[in-house]
């Protein structure tokens, strides 16, 4: 199995577990849990494909996404008490997932002839918007809007990827260095509790 495809499935599994835990905490029924897991895992990629008019949409063209999500929901349901305390482990899986999703989103967008800047945005959408939809559906302010460096890490890694591609670095090296950039930024941000500046007052005002 291709290592990138494998990481894509690992990221999908981790996102689905994350969605399942949030839905269970919100007291959703089993149908609601499956839906939240689904949108968390493939919502970003699906939105990207709709925006760039790519067919078939990610999970429709590859039913392995569906099976991975259903397995993740089942595992979470059966072992919730064991999984919930492992959030640090799933932060790592989540980080691997967003790094792969970002770069795959950029690659797919470029393949559809989109400009690099648009492809960069599509890569970010692929990585983070499943989580945004999850938070909206569970009545929470999306994580990326209020704390932690998350989408910014995806954008930074995406810029590295585009620059390496521009100077014709080998594709495998492009992918690895860009993914490492996202992973390092995200892990440092989590460990150091780094956040982007907040707008608390009028810059030119007195308070």
Give me the long-range contacts of 190-199 (CB less than 8 A, separation at least 24).
Answer: 190/91, 190/148, 193/148, 194/148, 194/149, 195/147, 195/148, 195/149, 196/149, 196/152
- How far is residue 110's CA from residue 106's CA, in Å, rounded to a whole number? 6
Q: Where are the domains of the chain?
A: 3-191
Three-class secondary structure of residue 205 per DSSP: coil
Q: Work out the number of other CB atoms within 10 angstroms of the CB of residue 83.
A: 18
Q: Across all residues in the chain, what is the average pLDDT? A: 87
More confident residue, 117 or 81: 117
Model confidence at 50: pLDDT above 90? yes
- Digit-coded pLDDT (tens) for 136-163: 999 888 877 766 688 899 999 999 999 9
The pLDDT, as a whole number, for residue 89 is 67
User: Where does the pLDDT of residue 39 fall: very low under 50, low under 70, confident under 90, or very high at 90 and above?
Assistant: very high
pTM of the model: 0.85
Q: What is the 8-class DSSP label of residue 159?
A: H
CA 61 to mean position of chain CA atoms: 19
């Amino acid at each position: 199995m291709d290592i990138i495809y494998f990481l894509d499935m690992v990221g999908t599994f981790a996102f689905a577990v994350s969605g399942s835990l949030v839905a269970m905490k919100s007291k959703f029924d089993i149908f609601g849990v499956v839906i939240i897991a689904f949108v968390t895992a493939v919502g970003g990629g699906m939105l990207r494909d709709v925006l760039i008019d790519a067919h078939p949409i990610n999970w429709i063209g590859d039913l392995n996404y569906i099976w991975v999500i259903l397995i993740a929901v089942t595992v979470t349901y059966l072992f919730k008490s064991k999984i919930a305390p492992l959030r640090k482990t799933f932060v790592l899986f989540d980080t691997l997932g967003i790094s792969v999703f970002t770069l795959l989103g950029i690659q797919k967008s470029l393949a559809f002839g989109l400009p690099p800047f648009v492809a960069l945005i599509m890569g970010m959408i692929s990585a983070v918007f499943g989580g945004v939809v999850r938070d909206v559906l569970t009545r929470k302010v999306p994580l990326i809007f209020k704390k932690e460096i998350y989408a910014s890490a995806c954008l930074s890694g995406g810029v590295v990827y585009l620059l390496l591609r521009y100077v014709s670095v080998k594709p495998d090296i492009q992918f690895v260095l860009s993914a490492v950039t996202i992973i390092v930024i995200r892990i440092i941000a989590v460990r150091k509790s780094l956040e982007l500046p907040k707008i608390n007052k009028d810059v030119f005002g007195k308070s």
